[in-house]
Amino acid sequence: MEDQQQEPNLETPQQLAEPQPAQQPSSMRSWTRDLLVSVLVSMFIILFLYQPVRVEGTSMLPMLQDQDRLFINKFAYSKLGAMVGGDIHRGDVVVFLYPHDHTKSYIKRVIALPGDQLRIDHGTVWVNGVALKEGYVPFKYLDDRSQPLMTIPDGEYFMMGDHRSISSDSRDFGPVDRNLIYGRAAFVYWPMDQAGVVH
């Protein structure tokens, strides 16, 4: 008579792979928590750091084209940003509320800072007695407008578009108050062939 040995009671691989009912609520809570954190981080970035905007118009050609999508850095010029070196510099491309209608936003380049002396002689911009070298303005976009010598008031900035012949800017509406400037152009993300850092 043969000895009958009892087979050990092993779980099959399929049984081992099956999720245990007790773990399902924990997994759902983890997924919900991750989703909530992602949404909160995204909201924080959009509200306080970066904001997507769309360019409307061609006054910043050739760098920015009509309907380009870009992120602007809102933190750079905030009160906290200013405390860590977020000053506005000549040459920055900034977004600001249009001085005569705060429901509209403009994007232009900072040409002169508070206290600077500025004049424009047949399209050539002079700041503090020195002609600016503006490599960002192609020859075909130059114009021959002139403006008499002026001193930029405290707390204000003189803005111009790179496409000088069609840009409505501080030559028309005057220097822009610091409180109206709310972001610096940071990165074009659409269209993909235009993607890159804004200089």
Residue with tokens 């232009």: 108
Task: Give yes or no: 104 in active site.
Answer: no
DSSP 8-state assignment for residue 56: -
Of 74, 108, 167, 170, the catalytic one is 108
Task: Give yes or no: 59 in active site.
Answer: yes
Number of neighbours of residue 44 by Cβ within 10 angstroms: 10
The amino acid at 59: S
Peptide bond into 191 cis (omega under 30): yes
Of 27, 38, 42, 59, the catalytic one is 59
Residue 114 and residue 158: Cα distance in Å, rounded?
8
The amino acid at 137: V
Residue 126 and residue 111: Cα distance in Å, rounded?
10
Residue 131 and residue 112: Cα distance in Å, rounded?
12
Any idea which residues carry the catalytic annotation? 59, 108
